[in-house]
Structure 1
Amino acid sequence: MHSIKTYSGDFRAPDARFAIVAGRFNSFIVESLIGGAVDALTRHGVAADQLTLVHVPGAFEIPLAVQRLAASERYDGIIAVGAVIRGSTPHFDYVAGECVGGLSKVALDQGLPVGFGVLTVDTIEQAIERAGTKAGNKGAEAALSVLEMVSLLRVMQA
């Protein structure tokens, strides 16, 4: 029987450097996402001096800041956090779509893990649920995804 070469990451990257890019719009939600991301990383051995926090006006501006940070080659992974809450106009669709597309493009173009912790929800209640209450903390989940991907990419390079 043939053995299959298998790669997988874990949640250890003790020397890795991470950036968190946070949109200030809906800051009462975003602060919880930042806290979740920082908590998840530090609980997995990432020291505070390995983290950089960058604030941008809103979700639309997140991809540009992530792109600049990725191009600097100072970070092993970047976590994007923000909150886009649907209103009565199509503004939500444009902002959410551009944010998702921009972050995906940066990750692929730069070959760098980019975590998506940007809430795209219909109501403030849904945002609160995803920022640390009933539905967990999407900032923490995005940070853990990035941590695992950093580890995986390192294993794949070896």
Structure 2
Amino acid sequence: MASALKNLSTYDETNLPDASKLSFGIVVADWNADITHALYQGCFDTLLKHGAPEARIFTVQVPGAFELPAGARILASREKLDAVICLGCVIKGETKHDEYINNAVSQGLVNLSITTGRPFIYGVLTPNDHQQALDRAGGRHGNKGVEAAVTAIRMGALHADQDIGRKAIGFRF
């Protein structure tokens, strides 16, 4: 669903697993820092809100979105993490650079997830302009960093083999 039709910060808190025993990595791109740092704050605050201990949240910064998969791999090799969240922003601009970067990042994170069995969360904004990015980094469409943190908690709990609850995954037994 397009974020213009959904607030990225809205989720059902009652169906979220407890994050108190989980460890998270956050990799933040410095390019478009006004946007990515707002994503980071939303992500970090959401992890804390749901019980993730601050001492088990490991953060690294990389130059741009293209470097997110490499930064994520390095961080995951150094720490025992249940999920790694990658936050970036690639604004369309005048050339097709955004398509190449977004495809490379998404493929890199998918490959890491598949080869390691650990969730690598894609928290990258792909807006057409700076205003759309602001709208999704704490503006009128919420904060993609919050959405990425919620995804990481759910997938991290699955990775950690926690009881994620039948209700939380939407199955009826």
- TM-score, normalized by length of structure 1? 0.88
Q: Deviations over 1:9-64 (max 9, x none)?
A: 83313121111000000001001000000011000011211111100000000001
Task: State the partner residue of 1:85.
Answer: 91
Could you tell me how far apart the structure 2 residues matched to 1:13 and 1:23 are?
Answer: 24
Q: Which amino acid aligns with 1:35?
A: Q
Matched AA of 2:48: T
Report if aligned partners of 1:32, 1:132 keep a CA contact under 8 Å in 2. Answer: yes
Contact between 2:22 and 2:82, CA under 8 Å: does it hold in 1? Answer: yes
Residue 133 of structure 2, aligned match among 127, 136, 149:
127
In structure 2, the partner of 1:97 is 103
Is the CA contact (8 Å cut-off) linking 1:13 and 1:147 kept in structure 2? yes
Letter in 2 for 1:13: A
Pairs aligned (count)? 149
**One-letter code of the match for 1:138?**
K
8 A Cα contact 2:23 2:57, kept in partner: yes
Alpha-carbon contact 1:107-1:114 (below 8 Å) kept? yes
Quote the Cα distance in structure 1 between the aligned partners of 2:43 and 2:140: 17
Identity %: 36
Q: CA deviation at 1:88?
A: 0.6
Quote the Cα distance in structure 2 between the aligned partners of 1:155 and 1:75.
Answer: 14
Decide whether the 8 Å contact of 2:86 with 2:121 is kept in 1.
yes
Mapped partners of 1:73, 1:34: distance in 2: 19
2:19 is matched with 13
Kindly indicate whether residue 53 of structure 2 is the aligned counterpart of residue 47 of structure 1.
yes
| Superposition misfits of 4+ residues, deviation over 6 angstroms | none
Cα drift, residue 73 of structure 1: 5.2
Query: Aligned to 1:147, which of 153, 157, 169?
Result: 153
Counterpart of 1:79 in 2: which secondary structure? strand
SS at match of 1:141: helix
1:113–1:149 Cα contact (<8 Å) kept: yes
User: TM-score scaled to structure 2, two decimals?
Assistant: 0.81
Unaligned stretches of 5+ in structure 2? 1-14, 164-173
Q: Structure 1: 5+ residue runs without aligned partners?
A: 1-8
Query: By percentage of residues, which structure has more strand?
Result: 1
Deviation, structure 1 residue 135: 1.1
Q: Report the aligned-residue RMSD.
A: 1.7
Give the conservation status (yes or no) of the 8 Å contact 1:59–1:82: yes
Cα shift readout 1:63-110 (whole Å, capped 9, x = no counterpart): 011122233451111110010000111111111111111111111111
Range moving further from structure 2, 47-56 or 63-72: 63-72
Distance 1:41 1:129 in 2: 21
**Contact kept? 1:84, 1:119, Cα under 8 Å:** yes
